[in-house]
Amino acid sequence: MSVELLQGNEACALAGIRAGVRFYGGYPITPSSEIAEVMSRELPKVGGVFIQMEDEIGSLAACIGARLAGKKAMTATSGPGFSLMQEHLGYAAMAEVPVVIVNAMRGGPSTGLPTKTSQGDFMQARWGTHGDHPVIALVPESVNEVYHLTIKAVNLSEMFRVPAVLLMDETLSHLREKVEIPDEVEIYEAEHIEMKGDKFLPFAEGTERFVALPPYGSGLRYHITGLAHGEDGFPTNDPEVIKKNMDRFLKKFKGAEDKVTDFETINVDDIDILLVAAGSVARPCKEALIWAKNEGLKVGLFRPRIIWPFPEKHLKEFDGKVEHVIVVEQNQGQLVHEVEKIFKKSKVHSVTRYDGELITPEEVENGIKEAIS
């Protein structure tokens, strides 16, 4: 293992390449632009392709095409560009094309705060594109975690044939910290779906995960569409066929929940108050834990590294065991609604900041004081 001092965006790009990404289609946007810069320099060194597209819609479209041609693909953007990508994010979900989208969140809506931090895209990552669809969204806390969760995002996307979103933010994009670079990393490579009999059915029962579409040009012919389709990939209006395929989406994670569940807990035994925070906001929460201990308060932290699928089962274990749950986030309150659905016995509180500045430990401490007053 080696240790390097890296910027968050730099760590993200290098990790993507380490995970096997060989195509990057993107459009520059603050605060993610350094990811494209590093990719443009480093991808050609490993036989990869970098292309700057005309906009964010074209960027994700190019990534989808590259993945269908057999290359692991990734793009990066920020809130406004992520909004533009939603049409093709839905296409990738319906066509079951694995691709990674990095969203370095900034203040919004609209152009908002290009150089300021935010966590305003939590719900956009889940429901930004229309219709019911599976999605994986990872939220790193540090530059070191940016590196490791980028690799995990690529692996999970390939494993479950879904788009995976890495939700960074401006704080992590431009922060420089030490990153532990392992000598070896686990890279997931799925087996290609094979022809059975005289038919090739890339969307048949049992192909929803752990297998991959063979690259175009490899000898098997199949159809890709964003329309509702049957096992052969061709469009259909048959209600039974449509329902069967949509139900396959629900099976993406069933029985494999452990692979899409990742969280950290700190001081959660025998506590009265549970903080829930994701991403860079967890850092001031950890500082607040030190203050709480010195004050004689029993406070713990639950930090999901993957927020979609939401770790409902694991959070539910605290319902009734703690008196207060305080959700800390860098927006006007998004994850708090997911938490409120879970906790029926414990009181749920919200601590937010949305002016472009990172929440301070003192604000978290004040939230704890208000909850117990």
Closest CA to 136 of 121, 154, 148, 117: 154
- What value does the mean pLDDT take over residues 261-274? 97
pLDDT above 80 for 197:
no
pLDDT above 80 for 144:
yes
pLDDT above 80 for 280:
yes
| The pair of three-digit structure tokens given for residue 248, joined into one six-digit string | 């396959």
Each residue's pLDDT tens digit, 204-233: 999 999 999 999 988 888 999 999 999 999
- Bridging pattern class, strands 136-138 and 306-308: antiparallel
For residue 195, the model assigns a pLDDT of: 85
**Domains assigned to the chain:** 1-260 (3.40.50.970), 264-372 (3.40.50.920)
pLDDT above 80 for 259:
yes
pTM over 0.85: yes
Identify whether the C-beta of residue 59 lies closer than 8 Å to the C-beta of residue 26: yes
Identify whether the C-beta of residue 166 lies closer than 8 Å to the C-beta of residue 140: yes
Each residue's pLDDT tens digit, 114-127: 999 999 999 999 99
pLDDT above 90 for 285:
yes
Cα separations (Å) of 305 from 47, 77, 182, 264, 277? 31, 20, 20, 7, 10
In sequence order, which residues have a C-beta less than 8 Å from that of residue 12 and are 6 or more positions away?
35, 76, 102, 146, 147, 150, 166, 168
pLDDT above 80 for 21:
yes
pLDDT above 80 for 181:
yes
Average pLDDT, the chain: 97
pLDDT above 90 for 105:
yes
Q: Which residues on neighbouring strands pair with residue 265, listed in sequence order?
A: 302
What percent of the chain is predicted at pLDDT more than 70?
100
Closest CA to 137 of 338, 364, 341, 357: 338
Each residue's pLDDT tens digit, 42-76: 999 999 999 999 999 999 999 999 999 999 999 99
Tell me the DSSP string of 34-48.
HHHHHHHHHGGGGT-
CA–CA separation, 158 and 21 (whole Å): 11
pLDDT above 90 for 349:
yes
| The pair of three-digit structure tokens given for residue 135, joined into one six-digit string | 């999605």
pLDDT above 90 for 140:
yes
Q: How confident is the model at residue 305 (pLDDT cuts 50, 70, 90)?
A: very high
| The pair of three-digit structure tokens given for residue 237, joined into one six-digit string | 């209006």
For residue 196, the model assigns a pLDDT of: 80
Tracing tokens 């009734």 back to the chain, one arrives at 320
Tracing tokens 């990508």 back to the chain, one arrives at 85
277 CB burial (10 A radius; 0-12, 13-18, 19+): buried
- What value does the mean pLDDT take over residues 296-303? 98
Give the helix ranges, DSSP H, for the chain.
Answer: 8-18, 33-42, 56-68, 79-84, 86-95, 122-127, 143-160, 170-174, 239-250, 282-294, 312-316, 335-342, 361-372
Q: What amino acid is encoded at 372 in this protein?
A: I
Q: How confident is the model at residue 261 (pLDDT cuts 50, 70, 90)?
A: very high
